[in-house]
Amino acid sequence: MSGFILASGSASRRQILEAAGVPFRVVTPDVDESAEKVRLAARGAAAREVAMTLARLKAGAVACRHLENFVLGCDQVLVCDGRLLDKVANVAAARQVLTALRGREHELLTACVLMRGEEILWQTLASARLWMRMFSDAFLDRYVVDEGEHILSAVGCYHVEGRGVQLFAKIEGDHFAIRGLPLLPLLDALRREGVIPE
C-alpha cells in the first residue's frame, strides 16, 4: 500500500505537515551527513549543491526500502559570508554561533526532494535571507538559558516560530521554508502525484 513518508527527524517539519492535515509517517534516513559534507567540501561544492545532494540522499535512502511509497527528503544549510554553518552539539557552542550571526545577514537554503523508488518526482530549493539585530549580551544570555537545548535542533540555533523571532531585525522569504519545509510548492507536488486530494 502506498503512502507518504517524511524522511526526516525534524520536529518542525512534522508539525508543519500535521497542521496542514497531510497524512504521513516518519522514517528517519540512515545517512552520514557529516561524511557527505566533508566529501562535498573537498570538491568545492556550493551551498545549494550541498543542500540538494543531502536531500536526495535522505529521500533515496528511505525510498529504496519503501518502493511503493512517496518519500520526501529535506535538508537545510545556513550560509554566512560564504561559509556554511552546521548544527552544534551544546549550548555553549550555540551561543558562539549566535554571537557570530549577531548584526549580520545570512541565508537559509532549504532543499526538498520527493521520490518514489529510484525516480525523482519533484524537487525544489527555497532561499531566505535573514538579518539578525544587534541584541545585547544580556539578551543573548537570557535567550540561551530560556531556550536551552531546544535550539540545538536548528542550524542557526533559533526557531522563528517561537522566541527566536526576537533575534531578527528583518526576514525575507517563505516562513515555512525558513522552518525547513517549503509547504505550498510541496502541497502542489503532492496533489499532482495524487498523494492528497485536488
Give the residue numbers annotated as catalytic, written as ranges: 75
Calculate Rg over the CA atoms of the chain.
Answer: 17
Q: Which of 72, 39, 40 is nearest to 55 (CA)?
A: 72
Quickly count: other Cβ atoms within 10 Å of residue 123's Cβ. 17
Q: Is 154 helix (H, G, I), strand (E, B) or coil?
A: coil
Q: Which of 16, 9, 15 is nearest to 33 (CA)?
A: 9
Helix ranges (H only) for the chain are 11-19, 33-42, 47-63, 91-101, 137-147, 175-178, 183-192
The region, left, alpha or beta by phi > 0 then psi within -120 to 50, assigned to residue 78 is beta
- CA 159/CA 8 separation, integer angstroms: 17
